[in-house]
Structure 1
Amino acid sequence: MKQEFAGLRGTIVDMEQSLSACTDDITILRSQVENMAKEMVKLENKCEDLESRSRRNNIRIIGVSEDHTPSCEYVASLLTEAFTLAKQPLVDRAHRSLAPKPGPGERPRVIVARLHYYSDCANILRRAKALQKMRVRDMSISIFPDYIAKTARARAAFNDVRCQLRDIEGVRFGILHPGKLRITYRGVQRDFTSPEEAKIYIKTIESLPPEK
């Protein structure tokens, strides 16, 4: 029994040493994983920022029939006619969105076009925002910026909030890149990244007495 007890004691000591070494390794690995997770977030943000910058000169044209081939020349002439531009914009590339070709009666695919000059892109987007929809060549088209998916989702999340804000007198608001809502009311400016927080703030605004 003494020999067996001594053997068990030795086994326990070995197991304690092994467990201690495993605990140390787990602590080190956990620290490394946390550092790698932080680094991955930084790299993701950097990649998203680079992709967003690469799309700065892009526009998305909605409503162009599938019967028309989206060549650079066609898009340039379409934009010139839609906005009555004095000079045709220089279009580097134009193509349909990467989706299956729709059938008869279905919504046509979006045209993604890259303009050579950012000034042309900004001018067209500014006019498109003011007009909302344009009627050209028997088509009703709309033009929007070409955001990455994450940015588009973040901005779309505030659609209901912006509809509520339009009905409140004296409120100024806008979407900051990539997806932050800025509300200015009675000289107070607030930024929101969550639609829920913005809705709570709207209720606070609505409960205030009218400004004298």
Structure 2
Amino acid sequence: MSKAPRQKKTDLVSSNGSAELAKDETSVTDGAALMAAIKSLEAGIYQKLDAHAAESRKEISLLQEEVHNLLMAVTSEVKAHEERLTSLENATSEWTTSLQVLEPTVASLRNEIAALQVKCTDLECHSRRSNLCLVGISEGMEGTQPTKLIAEELQEIFSLCEPLLLARAHRTLASRPAEGQRPRPFVICFHRFDIKEDIFRQAIQAKQLKFKDRTIAKKRAAYYDVKRVLRSRSDVKYGLRGLTGFQITHAGTEHKFDTPAEPIDYVKRHVTTP
């Protein structure tokens, strides 16, 4: 009777041991699975890291290649600029040398041109010293022999014994005026300067000249009044302009006039006014 319970206890202990053993085996199995999962996860992480690293290396390689190409292009451009700068420096040096060589030549040419201008002005003035300008002769009266007509007119105007010897006489170089407009003046070149001066003095003394009942005027005599007023003014420069005009330089400004009335009016308003 007393042995039966002992048997049960032994059976119970055996049963509990099997359970613990089964439990241990399950724990070992779960741990192995966990380790396998960890290793699998670790392998996946490494694989992804390797993939990202490979992609990064590829991108870095492409970036390095692009930067290298850009640097090569910049280097090539810099070298080209250096060559151009060197070329420009050489050219500038040559130009500087050329300019240094040309400066004396230019200075000499300037002096020569200035001398020639003075000579040209002197020749022009001398060529006009024997000229007078006669206005008031109707258009077309001269026909084909203007010099002969003017010589005969001067003979009649100044009551000369014979026609004057003129080098030439012609209308001013302007377009023919329309009917009723002022006729173009005559430019008269005398063969002898003393004859021209004699005619000039007679014209000034006469103040008004007539030819066949028509009033005519000589240009210099027409501007006689304004020249007489300005002759005493050292601050005013004046003189004839071209063949029919007059000019006045006052207060650093040059004024040009085409008729005798204009300079007289200007002098009254701006020069002689207190």
Letter matched to residue 195 of structure 1: H
Equivalent-residue separation in structure 2 for 1:112 and 1:141 (angstroms): 13
TM-score, structure 1 normalization: 0.60
Match of 2:147 in 1: 72
Question: CA-to-partner distance for each residue in 1:29-88, whole Å, 9 max, x for gaps?
Answer: 344333323322221221232232233322211110013115333212211222233443
Q: Is the 8 A contact 2:138 2:183 kept in 1?
A: yes
Match of 2:215 in 1: 140
Equivalent-residue separation in structure 1 for 2:273 and 2:187 (angstroms): 40
Say if 2:170 is the partner of 1:89. no
RMSD: 4.2
Say if 2:251 is the partner of 1:196. yes
Q: Is the 8 A contact 1:125 1:144 kept in 2?
A: no
Question: Which of the pair is proportionally richer in helix?
Answer: 2
Equivalent-residue separation in structure 2 for 1:165 and 1:128 (angstroms): 20
Say if 2:202 is the partner of 1:127. yes
Equivalent-residue separation in structure 2 for 1:25 and 1:96 (angstroms): 51
Q: Is the 8 A contact 2:134 2:217 kept in 1?
A: yes
When residues 84 and 196 of structure 1 are mapped into structure 2, their CA distance, relative to the original with a 3 A threshold, is farther
When residues 172 and 100 of structure 1 are mapped into structure 2, their CA distance, relative to the original with a 3 A threshold, is closer
Unaligned runs of 5+ in 1: 146-155, 180-192, 208-212
Question: Which of the pair is proportionally richer in strand?
Answer: 1
Equivalent-residue separation in structure 2 for 1:109 and 1:76 (angstroms): 17
Q: CA deviation at 1:101?
A: 1.5
Letter matched to residue 126 of structure 1: R
Equivalent-residue separation in structure 2 for 1:75 and 1:33 (angstroms): 48
When residues 87 and 176 of structure 1 are mapped into structure 2, their CA distance, relative to the original with a 3 A threshold, is farther
Match of 1:57 in 2: 130
Equivalent-residue separation in structure 2 for 1:32 and 1:172 (angstroms): 42
Q: Is the 8 A contact 2:137 2:183 kept in 1?
A: yes
Equivalent-residue separation in structure 1 for 2:200 and 2:230 (angstroms): 22
Unaligned runs of 5+ in 2: 1-74, 242-247, 253-266
Equivalent-residue separation in structure 2 for 1:132 and 1:60 (angstroms): 15
When residues 15 and 86 of structure 1 are mapped into structure 2, their CA distance, relative to the original with a 3 A threshold, is closer
Letter matched to residue 27 of structure 1: Q
When residues 68 and 40 of structure 1 are mapped into structure 2, their CA distance, relative to the original with a 3 A threshold, is same
Q: Is the 8 A contact 1:128 1:144 kept in 2?
A: no
Letter matched to residue 153 of structure 2: L
Match of 1:103 in 2: 178
User: Which has the larger Rg?
Assistant: 2
State the aligned residue count. Answer: 172
Match of 1:27 in 2: 100
Q: CA deviation at 1:122?
A: 0.8
1:159-178 residue pairs with structure 2 within 5 A? 162=227, 165=230, 171=232
